[in-house]
Structure 1
Amino acid sequence: MIRLAANLTMLFGEHEFLDRFAAAAEAGFNGVEYLFPYAYTPDALSAALNESRLEQVLFNLPPGDWEGGERGLTSLPGREPEFRDSLVEALHYAEVLGCPRVHAMAGLLPEGGDANADAEARAAHHATYVANLRYAAREAAKCGREVLIEPINTRDMPGFFLSHQAQAMAVLNEVGEPNLRLQFDLYHCQIMEGDLIRHLERQFDVIGHVQIAGVPERHEPDVGEVHYPALFKRLEALGYNGWVGCEYRPRGATRSGLGWGENYGLHV
């Protein structure tokens, strides 16, 4: 059974953020995710969840200076103390909100440099990434949480350290912690690699969360080059019982574009 979660950073932008919870519930969603909760107190978010009878299914660790262009701390050499502080904050929110998983964004590689410098930078980022993820997974395990990693396409996020599925699988294997899992975003994977069903099958055992959007414009999933009904059918056949996060930008009012989800419990 496909369980859909509304990404409240992108969906229901017609409403103030704390009002988006009720709007999502009224549209038939049972779970919510978003990029970051830290502009609001855990208690305020918990109240919005409880009033709307929604489950919090995912959010990201603090990403560093987001407004300044940073996109995560996990692979950044020299920022390990800040990463650990961000983990403490995220796990506190996760505990209050009853959220079982958090996403640790990898961060960006430095711009410029020759080939040798780029190789050295990537090696340093990789070593930092693996060490930070191992630490994060072990800390999260103490409170029963999962940590996720997500390959993100380099068209939307140039320079992002983690961009391919094979790279993510290699990192998961190297870290070797059972509660470190894959956030499999079908939109990002289609842009970088395609072959979605085969990637899904190969990686199924380590997938902790799935996200969707239409390709290439990141609108509703019934628009563009990806046939999501086939992917949902394969997910169900494989026995997926996690959440599918709707992380797309509506073409208009969110509610008017939900016809694609009527077979999965949503309504316009």
Structure 2
Amino acid sequence: MPRFAANVTMLFTEVPMLARPDLAREAGFDGVEVLFPYDHPLKDWQTALAGMPLALINAPPGDWAAGDRGYAAVPGAVGDFRQSFLRGADVAAQLGAARLHVMAGVAKGEQAEAVYRENLAWAAAQAPDLCLCIEPLNADDMPGYFLNDFDQAARIVDDLGIATLGIQFDLWHAARIHGDADAVWAKHKGRVNHIQIAGFPGRNEPGGGGFDLTGLCSELDTGEWSGWVAAEYLPQRATVHGLMWLNALKSRARLIGA
């Protein structure tokens, strides 16, 4: 049965950040993920999680307001990247995060790709027990972001051949970039080590948009998937009032396992 995580950066925003893991637990989620858990002391996060598994965090992106979106593919920013990655890896270790998303940053061209590959290889060597994710982001939401295509991500993952490095499959971005998220999943699922879901075309509650969530969960049920399916979407109303999709998928999984 897939494990479902709530992205508490985007869900349960009706309450303060550190109160959200409790709401996620009460709502039936198996764990949580947090985009950037760096604005609160680690001890406060540990108290807030209270044993709730942390599926994923992002490495620090730099100055978001100034346009930073990570440094991994940014020529001339190797020092910034290494500092960012080591901080992210340390926080992941202390909070028990299963995966760390390494953000590529705003860049383009062959030099950027060469820097990206070198930085990813370095990062994997620094934290050999940590699963690393790279995520293609669509150009409308993230203009200028280096990693903006799933085929591009697959080529880099395949070429590097690092066992702990995989693709973060975000249904929303796959659909925005390629038009057919089902086809992206079918082509690249063997490289995926983290899944994020949302509705399409509105990025609201999961469901619709031509993507078969029930089929995905059935496939994960029968396979050897050990990762997470994380809900990363914009609730149309209070989060707890829009969780029919979660209840339906978990009920179906229980029936299959009975």
TM-score (norm 1): 0.89
Q: Distance in 2 between matches of 1:18 and 1:186?
A: 26
Deviates more, 1:12-21 or 1:35-44: 35-44
- Counterpart code for 1:232: C
> What is residue 136 of structure 1 aligned with on the other side?
123
CA contact 1:138–1:177 (8 Å) conserved in 2: no
Q: Distance in 1 between matches of 2:13 and 2:61?
A: 22
Q: Distance in 2 between matches of 1:96 and 1:13?
A: 24
Q: Distance in 2 between matches of 1:222 and 1:184?
A: 16
> What is residue 113 of structure 1 aligned with on the other side?
none
Say if 2:44 is the partner of 1:30: no
Structure 1 pair 132–191 and aligned structure 2 pair: CA distance change class (3 A): same
How far apart are 1:21 and its partner, in Å?
Answer: 0.9
May I ask how many residue pairs the two structures share in their alignment?
251
Say if 2:225 is the partner of 1:240: yes
How far apart are 1:89 and its partner, in Å?
Answer: 0.7
Say if 2:247 is the partner of 1:249: no
Say if 2:56 is the partner of 1:69: no
Say if 2:156 is the partner of 1:166: no
Deviates more, 1:224-233 or 1:87-96: 224-233
Q: 1:88 aligns with which of 71, 82, 86?
A: 86
Say if 2:195 is the partner of 1:210: yes
> What is residue 118 of structure 1 aligned with on the other side?
none
- 1:100-115 map, 5 Å: 100-109=98-107
Percent identity for Structure 1 against Structure 2: 40
CA contact 1:152–1:188 (8 Å) conserved in 2: yes
When the two chains are superposed, the root-mean-square deviation of aligned CA atoms in Å is 1.6
Q: Distance in 2 between matches of 1:173 and 1:222?
A: 31
Deviates more, 1:72-81 or 1:237-246: 237-246
- 1:143-154 map, 5 Å: 144-154=129-139
Q: Distance in 1 between matches of 2:28 and 2:16?
A: 19
How far apart are 1:265 and its partner, in Å?
Answer: 4.0
Flag structure 1 segments of 5+ consecutive residues without an equivalent.
110-120
Deviates more, 1:196-205 or 1:8-17: 196-205
CA contact 2:21–2:49 (8 Å) conserved in 1: yes
Structure 1 pair 198–235 and aligned structure 2 pair: CA distance change class (3 A): farther
Q: Secondary structure at the match of 1:248?
A: coil
- Counterpart code for 1:209: H
Deviates more, 1:194-203 or 1:249-258: 194-203
Q: Secondary structure at the match of 1:209?
A: strand
Flag structure 2 segments of 5+ consecutive residues without an equivalent.
252-258
Deviations 1:78-100, CA, capped at 9 Å, x for gaps: 11001101111111111111112
CA contact 1:152–1:164 (8 Å) conserved in 2: yes
- Counterpart code for 2:87: E
Q: Distance in 2 between matches of 1:13 and 1:177?
A: 36
Deviations 1:55-80, CA, capped at 9 Å, x for gaps: 01100001011121221111111110
Q: Secondary structure at the match of 2:166?
A: strand
CA contact 1:29–1:265 (8 Å) conserved in 2: no
Q: Distance in 2 between matches of 1:228 and 1:154?
A: 24
Say if 2:110 is the partner of 1:123: yes
How far apart are 1:224 and its partner, in Å?
Answer: 4.1
TM-score (norm 2): 0.92
Q: Distance in 1 between matches of 2:71 and 2:100?
A: 14
Say if 2:211 is the partner of 1:226: yes
